Chain A
Amino acid sequence: MSQASTEIVRISGHAGSVPGAGLNREFTVCKLVDTTTCIGCKACEVACLEWNGYTFTETTFDNSYQTMPETAWNYWNLIKFNEYENEDGNLMLLMRKDQCMHCADPGCLAACPADAAIVQYANGIVDFQEANCIGCGYCMTGCPFNIPKFSPTARKVFKCTLCNDRVSQGLEPACIKTCPTGCLHFGTKAEMKELAETRAKQLRDHSGYRNAGVYDPSGVGGTHVIYVLHDATNPEAYGGLPKNPQVPLMVRLWKHPLKWIGNFGMIFGVVGVFIHYLRFGPKIVKEDEQHGDAA
C-alpha cells in the first residue's frame, strides 16, 4: 500500500462520490512485458522484494525454474515458466512475468465491501489500502487473474502496487528499472500499446511468429500491464494467462441485480409490516374471555 497524490477515480465499498470524478488526465501509465525477450533471470522478482521491503522466502521446487507455484502476499512478481511444444514440434521455454494487471475494470475492486480498501487512480493504477482492508478475501474471488493474496499474519490482502509510490514521484517501477534485457518498458498506455504493436508486427514479419500479438484483454476494459506474446491466440500456454478474462458473472450478479432486489425486498418487508400495523393493529387477547379457571 502507498498513499499517492494522484487522483482517485474509483473507490471500493464506497457510498457517494469520488475525489477524481470527471478528472481527465492526459495519460494513463502502462507496463509492457515483452515475453519474447525475457530471459527468465528473475531480476524483477528481486527488485520487487527489495523495493517493497519483503524478506526472501524459501522457494518451492517443482521441476521447473519457477520460484513458486503462484504469487504470494509477500511475493508480488513471479516469472512463470512453461516448457511448451509448439505446433511445429519445437520446444519453447515460455516465460511470463506475472503480477497484478491493473485492470481498467478491476474485479477485485468491484467485489470489495470495505470503504476505500481498494482504489483506482486516474493514471490506471489499482492499489490496495491495507489500513482499510478488513481481510474478507472477496477481492481474491473477484480477480480473474488470481492476484490478491491473503497474509495469515496481517490478516489482510496484498498485491503488486505497480510501484505507485515510485510512479507518483515520477520514477519508473522497480522491476522496469532493473530488467537487463529491456524486455520491460514503462510509459503511457498509448506509447506502450504502440511499441507493443510494432514489436508484434516485427515478430510476425521477420521472426516467423505468425500469431504474435499484444495481450490487452478487453473483457476487463484493457489492462495497465500488457504483454507481447509469440502466440497471442494461446495465452493460456504462458503460465495460465486467461484467454478472455472478465469480472466473474457471479460477482456482477451479486453486486448489481441481487443487491437491488435484496434492498428493495428488505424495505418492502419493513414498510409492509408497518402498514399492516396501521391497518389491522395488534392481536389483543381479552383476559376474561371464557376462562373461569383463570380467575
Chain B
Amino acid sequence: MIHGKYLLPNGRVLRYSFHERMIHWTAAVSYVYLLLSGLAFWSPWMFWIAAVLGGATIARELHPWLGIVFSVAVVLMDGMWGKQMKETPADKGWWESIGHYIRNEDDKMPPADRFNPGQKLLFWGFFVNGLLLLLTGLILWLPQYIPWNLRILRLASIFLHPVFALFTIALFIVHVYMGTAMERGAFGSVIRGDVSRAWADHHHHSWFQQVLREEESSGKSSGD
C-alpha cells in the first residue's frame, strides 16, 4: 500500500496538517467567545451569558482583543487556503445540484475538489465579514476617540457591526451543524487531521484522486 505525505501508514488520508488545525481552532475559539459575548450585548435576554465569560465588564474588555486574534487567524487562513478557495468553472454545476446535496443524494453530485463550493462560500463569507467586523469593531472599541462631528461613523458601526455578525452567524450555524452532526468524519478531520480513504473519495473525489496521483509519482512514497 502506498503511503507518503498524505497517505498515512494507518491507511487514512491526511486532510488537515497540524498547522492548518491550529489556525482553524484559533479562529474557532476566538469566534465562539466573540459570538457569545456579542450575543450578551445584543439582547437583554442573553445578557446572562456574560456571567460565564468573566462578567459583562470583562467580556466587554476581552471582546475586541479576541476580535484582533480572530482577525489575525482569518488573515492567516486566507494565506493558507485562499488559493484553494478560488471559484472554479465547475462550481456552477455543484450549486445547480445543491438540492441533491441537501437531500443527501451525494451520488448525484459532481465531484468536489479539496474544498467544495459550499465551503468556499463559508470561507469567503467569514473573510469579508470578518474584515468588516474588524473595521466597525475598532470604532465601537474606542468611541471616545471618534469626535462628535464624526459620530455618523459610530452610528453606522453600531448598526452594521451586528449586521455583519449576523451574516457570519448564519454561516456558523450551518458550518457547525455540518461539521459535527451531518457530515460524519468531518469533525475528526479537523481534530486528528485525517479521514478515511472512503470519506476522502466520497466527499472530495477530485482532491483524493490528485492526492493519489501525487503520492504515486512522488519519489518519497513507498510501496508495501
Q: Is the CB of B196 within 8 A of A285?
A: yes
B199 at the interface (CB under 8 A from A): yes
Q: Are A286 and B143 neighbours in the complex by a CB distance under 8 Å?
A: no
Instruction: Give every chain B residue within 8 A of A152 (Cβ-Cβ).
Output: 144
Q: How far is the CB of A248 from chain B (nearest CB, A)?
A: 5
**Interface size range of chain A in the complex:** 35 or more
For A117, the closest partner residue in chain B by CB is B56
Given contacts A114-B47, A273-B173, contact A134 B183 (CB under 8 A): no
* Chain A: CB-nearest residue to B176: A273
Q: How many angstroms between the C-alpha atoms of A277 and B184 in the bound complex?
A: 12
Residues in B neighbouring A210, C-beta threshold 8 A = none
Per the bound structure, the CA–CA distance linking A266 and B2 in Å amounts to 46
Q: Give every chain A residue within 8 A of B203 (Cβ-Cβ).
A: 283, 285
- What separation, in Å, do the CA atoms of A152 and B143 have in the docked complex? 12
Q: Mark B200-224, 1 if CB is under 8 A from A, else 0.
A: 0111000000000000000000000
Name B125-179 residues within 8 Å CB distance of A.
140, 143-144, 148, 151, 154-156, 158-159, 162-163, 166, 169-170, 173-174, 177
A286 to B163, CA, bound (A): 41
Instruction: Say whether A141 contacts B57, CB under 8 Å.
Output: no
Minimum CB–CB distance from A235 to chain B (whole Å) comes to: 16
Number of A-B contacts (CB under 8 A): 136
Q: Which of A140, A282, A284 contacts B143 (CB 8 A)?
A: A140
Binary flags per residue of B52-78, CB closer than 8 Å to A gives 1, else 0: 000011011100000000000000000
Cβ of A141: which chain B residues have Cβ within 8 Å of it? Answer: 143, 151, 154-155, 158
Contact of A285 with B185 at beta-carbon distance under 8 Å, contacts A266-B169, A270-B173 already known: yes
Q: How far is the CA of A220 from the CA of B148 in the complex (A)?
A: 19
A251, B1: Cβ atoms closer than 8 Å: no
Asked if A243 CB lies within 8 Å of chain B CBs, one says no
* A15 CB-CB contact with B under 8 Å: yes
A sample of 10 cross-chain residue pairs with beta-carbon separation below 8 angstroms, ordered by A number, consists of A134-B50, A135-B60, A135-B61, A250-B156, A269-B174, A282-B183, A283-B106, A285-B199, A291-B201, A293-B1
Chain B contact residues, CB within 8 Å of chain A: 1-2, 11, 40-45, 47, 50, 56-57, 59-61, 102-104, 106, 140, 143-144, 148, 151, 154-156, 158-159, 162-163, 166, 169-170, 173-174, 177, 181-185, 196-199, 201-203
